[in-house]
Amino acid sequence: MKDKSVIKFIQAQLNARGLDAGTADGIIGPKTLAALNKVEAIPSDWSETRKAVGFVQLLAIENDIDPGKLDGYWGPQTQFTYESLVSLLIEGKEAELWRPEDLPDENPNNWPSQKQEENIIRFYGEIAKNQTNIDLPYPHTLAWEKSTTISRFLCHERVHDSLLRVLIRVLDHYGMHKIRNLGLDLWGGCFNVRSMRGGKRPSMHSWGIALDYYPSKNLVRWGRDRAEFAKPIYNMWWKFWEDEGWVSIGRQRNFDWMHVQAAKL
Ligand SMILES: [Zn+2]
């Protein structure tokens, strides 16, 4: 968010709503800050930068673009949101809107929502407990060590059966040859105790209920313009997960396309 062009954009938009941010020079000075302080939806105790980011998120909401949440933090979803706003407000093009509501909302296994950590703990137990080995229907290759192929890995016992059904359908549909071509065997990990990206809360990986695939072609910050998994050839791959209620962050939030989890957002 250090980018001057972002600040210039914010200043121009503040000016456009009559809040007098001064000349759009790409620097948050007293006038810009005063203008940001006049925006009611932005909490007054946020830092300058957070207010500026919050304003971008607010603009998104006003323009029917989903910014994730209005929290004043510049993550991949805000980046995507910003780019959509620029094309809409500056270039006058209809932004490529992300419409997660078009996705199926199946949840046959009643996966809990990650919004409240208590929900996750109630359903799955404490972090790092209740892990079991899954014997894979097709071999996986370690994405970070391609000479190593594995036939099992640890996952949470409550996702085991569902995960197995998904991978069996993947094998039936694509076959081993295509699986390799499409990187559906390039495994980036499952059970791993760590924090969420950009946050303090534990990642869903900490419970062994999230998996990463083909990370090198689905970098966390990439949106669907670059992520391999956004291509139509992967539609069935995602259908098999979504039929079981698994959530793709890529499909729903347009970043971290490598990641799929047995928890709702
Ligand atoms: Zn992940």
How much distance in Å is there from the Cα of 209 to the middle of ligand 1? 9
Q: Would you state the pLDDT for residue 69?
A: 79
Most confident range, picked from 84-88, 164-168, 190-194: 164-168
CA of 14 to the centre of ligand 1 (A): 37
What is the pLDDT, as a whole number, of residue 1? 61
Per-residue confidence (pLDDT) for residue 87, from 0 to 100: 79
Q: What is the pLDDT of residue 100?
A: 55
Tell the burial category of 242 from Cβ atoms under 10 Å away from its Cβ (0-12, 13-18, 19+).
buried
Structure tokens at 248: 């793709």
Give the tens place of pLDDT for each residue, 38-80.
998 999 999 999 999 999 999 988 887 777 778 998 877 787 7
Q: How far is the CA of 201 from the centre of ligand 1 (A)?
A: 14
Question: What's the gap in Å between 159 CA and the centre of ligand 1?
Answer: 15
Contact 61, 241 (CB under 8 A): no
Q: What's the gap in Å between 58 CA and the centre of ligand 1? A: 28
Q: What distance in angstroms lies between residue 138's CA and the mean position of ligand 1's atoms?
A: 20
DSSP code string of 153-219: EEEEHHHHHHHHHHHHHHHHHHHHHHHHHHTTTEEEES----BPTTSSSBPGGGGT-EEEE-GGGS-
pTM more than 0.95: no
pLDDT digits (tens, 9 = 90+) for 85-107: 887 887 776 545 455 556 778 89
> What distance lies between CA 149 and its chain's CA centroid?
27
If you measure from the C-alpha of residue 228 to the centroid of ligand 1, how many angstroms do you get, rounded to a whole number?
A: 15
Domains and CATH numbers, the chain: 4-90 (no CATH), 100-261 (3.30.1380)
| Residue 190 Cα to ligand 1 middle (Å) | 7
**Mean pLDDT, the chain, as a whole number?**
90
Centre of ligand 1 to C-alpha 210, Å, is 6
DSSP bridge pairs for 152: 135
More confident residue, 2 or 142: 142
